[in-house]
Chain A
């Protein structure tokens, strides 16, 4: 019986989703192994292997800070990243690059997140943005002396500090859209009201900051789901068919 259930679950997964997760996990394991082996090879060849004692204090300090934050990041962003989670966490820059690119790509393709199409589009966006970053940095390495004065210009430095609000400004508009398909969620923003008020209070009190965002999101996910559940049970948040006019207009677009 349990075996049958397991087989049914496997059948329900789209072949692409199955492939994307399987290949992603293999890629991630190979990537972690390769990343860890680089310092060992270099230190062995140059005879400069540090002792365990030399590495331990730094390792404890960074893991104590980054460990919980990394776990929170995986918990917070995996539902949005889908099968592109592996490539995203291998290539980094989750919030300042991958998530905005995925949201933008899904809006352009008019596909819903957490569907097979949405997942495939998310993987395309993640792969393209990872490749662009790698290429730009490679160009940066080659043209280092030329680009250094441009990037170190005080105006450019100031502007680069404001990347995150610039990204969220463009993504916020997509938040107003309640669905890309045949149905939409009525009053879809209401479940975010309580978490937004809580975070506002924390920010005003000086506790909330972008550095803590990963941890705050993991806390706010159950709060948002709970609010959505209550509002859905009361019939305030509900799924309604998109009116024909709207569908035609979006098809034309």
Chain B
């Protein structure tokens, strides 16, 4: 019997995952090159593009560390390589945990046993995780172009209603998330308030120290998340 750990730690899986990640990075690099070229043609300066890259890179670090924490959680039951692939690309901790739990439950085993059980249990977990997540990507391939360019055309058409309507999607997103976060519990509300205030302060300082504008989001996130420890200690 081949054990799950043999497959989970196999060089073959490592190579396949590394190649997959390189494919995603290659497309990301190509996208940055093409999009930057078009931005320049449309009058967006190189300095602005560079600021966008810097700001995005710095603001992505903190959320990526949170994803890294999810990765660590999954390594306990699935080894290092498979969670590395799943959380680097399409998956999330909650989805992966659910998918693997449902699979092992149906097979009458436990998460902690996946690596010690027969390798086909690990195989089933990989299959369920991979096939269970494809609905969103397939829907995106089929409908995203028509959906997105339709809204773009309404806006580019410069009709007054087009401009009003195109803002509705952002508003709908905020009108859902802000009340949920405001009324969940006090630490959540206070963390959001701290983030808002820090962003406001950075915005005021950033009028004089322009370099700060590229780091506002990263700073606000860090300070707010650090403050959450205090709020949880006080109110939970």
Min CB gap B3→A, angstroms: 9
Cβ–Cβ < 8 Å partners of B88 in chain A: 91, 133-134, 137-138
Per a CB cutoff under 8 Å, which of A16, A45, A78, A128 touches B148?
A: A78
In the complex, B120 has a CB within 8 A of chain A? yes
Pick the contact of B164: A77, A105, A171, A239 (CB < 8 A). A239
- With A and B bound together, what is the CA distance between A3 and B194 in angstroms? 56
A104-B217 in contact (CB<8A): yes
Does the CB pair B179–A208 fall under 8 Å? yes
Contact of A108 with B228 in the complex, beta carbons under 8 Å: no
Using C-beta atoms within 8 Å of the partner chain, give the interface range for chain B.
35 or more
A93-B67 contact, Cβ under 8 Å, with A35-B130, A46-B7, A85-B144: yes
How many angstroms between the C-alpha atoms of A17 and B42 in the bound complex? 13
Decide if A120 touches B38 in the complex (CB within 8 Å). Answer: yes
Count residues of chain A with CB under 8 A from any CB of chain B: 158
Is B29 within 8 A of A127, CB to CB?
yes
Choice from A57, A105, A144, A220 contacting B102 with Cβ under 8 Å: A57
Say whether B64 contacts A137, CB under 8 Å. yes
Q: Which of A51, A81, A87, A137 has its CB near the most chain B CB atoms (within 10 A)? A: A137
Starting from the known contacts A61-B102, A127-B29, 16 additional A-B residue pairs (CB-CB under 8 Å) come to: A28-B140, A48-B119, A48-B123, A55-B103, A62-B99, A62-B102, A62-B132, A70-B136, A104-B55, A120-B38, A130-B24, A137-B87, A140-B84, A160-B66, A225-B165, A238-B160
Contact: A129 with B60, CB < 8 Å? yes
Measured CB to CB, the closest approach of chain B to A208, in angstroms, equals: 5
**A80 and B133 contacting across the interface, CB-CB below 8 Å:** no
* Chain A positions within 8 Å of B152 at CB level: 17, 82, 114-116, 119
On whether the beta carbons of B167 and A185 are closer than 8 Å, the reply is yes
State whether B31 touches A20 (Cβ < 8 A): yes
Chain A proximity of B111: nearest CB distance (Å): 12
- In the complex, what residue of chain B is closest to A21 when comparing beta carbons? B145
Given contacts A115-B155, A175-B170, contact A105 B56 (CB under 8 A): yes
Interface contact B24-A31, CB-CB below 8 Å: yes
Q: Is the CB of A89 within 8 A of B140?
A: yes
Could you tell me if A159 and B189 are in contact, using CB atoms closer than 8 angstroms?
no
- Supply 17 A–B pairs (Cβ within 8 Å), ascending by A: A50-B124, A71-B136, A79-B147, A89-B90, A101-B56, A109-B48, A113-B170, A120-B36, A131-B28, A137-B68, A141-B80, A151-B65, A164-B177, A167-B63, A169-B199, A192-B174, A216-B176
Q: Pick the contact of B32: A23, A45, A127, A172 (CB < 8 A).
A: A127
Contact of A120 among B42, B143, B226 (CB under 8 A): B42
- Is the Cβ of A58 less than 8 Å from the Cβ of B103? yes
Residues of B within 8 A of A117 (CB): 39, 42, 44
Query: Which of A16, A86, A192 is close to B34, meaning CB atoms less than 8 Å apart?
Result: A16
